[in-house]
Amino acid sequence: MNQQILKALLISVFLTSSAAAELPAATTMPFTVAENLIVVEADINGVSGNYLVDTGAQAVVLNRPYFESVDVDTVVMSHSSPSGANGPVANVQGARNLTLSWGAIEMNDLFGMVTDLTHLEASVGVPIVGLIGYNVLERFQVHFDYAAGELTLYSLGEDSQPLIENGLGSPVQVTEFEMVSHIPVFPVNIAGHEMRMGLDSGAGGAMIFTRWRDELEGKYEFIERTELNGADKHVQMGDVVRIDNMSVQDIDYTNMTFRFNDMASHNGKAMPMDGLLGYEFLKTRPTAINFRTRELLIWPVTGG
């Protein structure tokens, strides 16, 4: 494993948006994977290109260099700076009245942020215009299917259920989660230890906080020591290890790799979870997040 990117924008202020729009019942969009991150084609305020789909970003985030000549209604952030994986993110502006065009989805009046993501872009290795975050995704049931290379967004009815059925049938498991800020957190068992893990589609790799290192001694295989690059531009070194057994209720995930690292605190407080799951977890089988019902839905492995 070469350089890993684990970026979880833990925003210190809840960003809201009316985002009045006629949303389709369902829309399926292809995606590619760059350095374990989901890359889609979208357009915000007329700037088309690659956007990362990142449930770990609380709002839309624009990469400043792409929007310098674009009419963006920016505002001064009245709260403390948001945090990345390793510390505060510098030089952040708020942005309002954003318009998103993404497949069949059209949203207006979105709130977001503008900051310099060129360091992230360089790490990913492809142009990155911005991030599509929680304030867009939370209004859908979001289905991740890495085997098909597709992301499907199902609009929700008054009962918080999808307006139409998906083609996968019933999930084999439904796991309830709680929200910590905008991050879904749910129980897992890792090498016989009960933990609470956050789910972040913008996490290129899984993380276990370093306080668990001693507890897990003898239950992991060391792989390498690598850098962790966050939205804050700081670099944190961490050991990458392999753990043979992780389970979410009755579903086993074998030979998972994790980094021992710590995220920046949120508003000066330790994060009430034990780590993060991202790419390696989501790619294993079709998985969906319903932010309204606070359910993680998991289907059988497809394609063999």
Band of residue 66 on the pLDDT scale cut at 50, 70, 90: very high
pLDDT above 90 as % of the chain: 74
pLDDT of residue 4: 33
pLDDT of 104 strictly over 90? yes
Give the mean model confidence (pLDDT) for residues 73-93.
63
pLDDT of residue 287: 98
Q: What CATH number should be reported for the domain whose range is 173-298?
A: 2.40.70.10
Q: Which of 106-120, 125-139, 215-229 has the lowest mean pLDDT?
A: 215-229
Distance CA 138, CA 180 (A): 14
pLDDT of residue 79: 54
The angle at the Cα of 294, spanning 292 to 295, to the nearest 5 degrees, equals 120
Give the mean model confidence (pLDDT) for residues 197-223.
95
Q: What is the per-residue pLDDT across 228-242, written as a single tens digit (0 to 9) for each?
A: 655 545 566 889 999
Distance CA 278, CA 184 (A): 12
Task: Compute the mean pLDDT over every residue in the chain, rounded to the nearest whole number.
Answer: 86
pLDDT of residue 22: 72
Q: What CATH number should be reported for the domain whose range is 4-155?
A: 2.40.70.10
pLDDT of residue 24: 94
Q: What is the per-residue pLDDT across 153-205, written as a single tens digit (0 to 9) for each?
A: 999 999 999 999 988 899 999 999 999 999 999 999 999 999 999 999 999 99
pLDDT of residue 269: 64
pLDDT of residue 65: 96
Domains 4-155 and 173-298 fall in the same CATH topology: yes
pLDDT of 270 strictly over 80? no
Q: Which residues touch 56 (CB under 8 Å, ≥6 apart)?
A: 7, 8, 9, 10, 133, 134, 182, 183, 200, 201, 202, 203, 276, 278
Distance CA 11, CA 84 (A): 8
User: What are φ and ψ of residue 275, in 5° steps?
Assistant: 165, -170
Whole-model pTM? 0.86
Domain boundaries, the chain: 4-155, 173-298
